[in-house]
Amino acid sequence: MIDFKTLRLTRKPNQYLVAPPDFTPAPAHRQSPVFPWPAAELARRFRAIALAAPRVTPLAEADGGRRFEVVQRSALLRFPDTVSVEAVPLGDRKAALAIYSRSRYGRSDFGANRKRIDAWLAALAATA
């Protein structure tokens, strides 16, 4: 699984990183919103949204479910995109997410990783 503390992005545009400020040395494409739940609850909610998406299967889980990875395959050619997630506790029953979505093959993903994660975050925000 990805270690966000040492993550380095590639030069390819087929990746998307969301993270709290100063959580990873890699420059995030978007700052993570803060959610009104403890980290374990935030991870559980986000994982449910991810697993409800089409063609998503779980890959790994750690830290009691606070960290996990899933793969989503494209509809037409079944290319895999891996999504790594870590719920980051912020204290006072609040948490944020570090999410790294990337395509395994090719150079461009036509914004698929960004669209996926932004949609999943919007679905999560709608449950708050």
pLDDT at 96: 98
Distance from chain centroid for Cα 30? 11
Tell me how far apart the alpha carbons of residues 27 and 8 are, in angstroms, rounded to a whole number. 8
pLDDT in tens, 59-75: 999 999 999 999 999 98
What is the pTM for the complete model shown?
Answer: 0.96
pLDDT > 90: percent of the chain: 89
Of the candidates 88, 79, 84, the residue with the CA atom closest to the CA atom of residue 32: 88
- Would you state the CATH architecture of domain 15-125? 2-Layer Sandwich (3.30)
Mean pLDDT, residues 5-22 taken together: 96
pLDDT band at 34 (very low <50, low <70, confident <90, very high): very high
